[in-house]
Amino acid sequence: RHAQLKPAKAQVERALQKQRQLLDSAFAALAPREPGRINMYLLAVAGDGSQEVFRREVEFVRNQFAERFGMKHHALTLVNSRSTLGSVPIATRASLREALKRIAASMDTQEDVLFLFFTSHGSPEHEFALHQPHVRLRDLRARELGSLLKESGIRWKVVLISACYSGGFIDAIKDDTTLVITAARHDRPSFGCDDENEFTYFGRAFFK
């Protein structure tokens, strides 16, 4: 049943051709920081496009942060999904690096706070799944995420990872100015990853 809902290869190819435009539009929508106060920014990533639950979580979190914290114009999303293909930038290691750089350029990296939300499948080898049908993507390893965060120069961070075995990311990204929250231990799965679900179990408990 799910295979019938996968985007056609030609549709994916057209969407890939639009990625530069989609990223530039998303970056252009970032508002300047408000002076005189600590600003918060959101980067939310839905990693696996074969199940829509991850997209739904990212959309809920972005809307929640906009309503509760006034962050509508301080948020970026990277989404692998069959329903937003061609309208939202896809989540890849390259787009994640570029998004972090663009947010860092918009914020005061020594004062403002970045909230990162990652939701997808995870592996016992501590890799965050990046998957879009018909696109060859490599998963994001824990140490790669740690390197990207250091490279960004952003000091104050909250990193929330909702994935199986996500506790395996902690050592790679922790420091004195980063709060790390994970859905599972390094050696345990998390639950609720179903195409029909609105949330994973952890996402529902934490955000809703």
**Residue 35 above 70 pLDDT?**
yes
What percent helix, strand, coil does the chain show, rounded to 5? 40, 20, 40
Under the banding of pLDDT at 50, 70 and 90, the label for residue 5 is low
The 10s digit of each residue's pLDDT in 68-107 is 999 999 999 999 999 998 899 999 999 999 999 999 999 9
Under the banding of pLDDT at 50, 70 and 90, the label for residue 12 is confident
Q: What is the mean pLDDT of the chain?
A: 93
Under the banding of pLDDT at 50, 70 and 90, the label for residue 4 is very low
Task: List, in sequence order, every beta strand (DSSP E) within 47-172.
Answer: 75-79, 113-119, 127-128, 140-141, 156-162
Question: For the whole model, what pTM was predicted?
Answer: 0.92
CA distance 42 to 52: 20
Under the banding of pLDDT at 50, 70 and 90, the label for residue 3 is very low
Under the banding of pLDDT at 50, 70 and 90, the label for residue 190 is very high
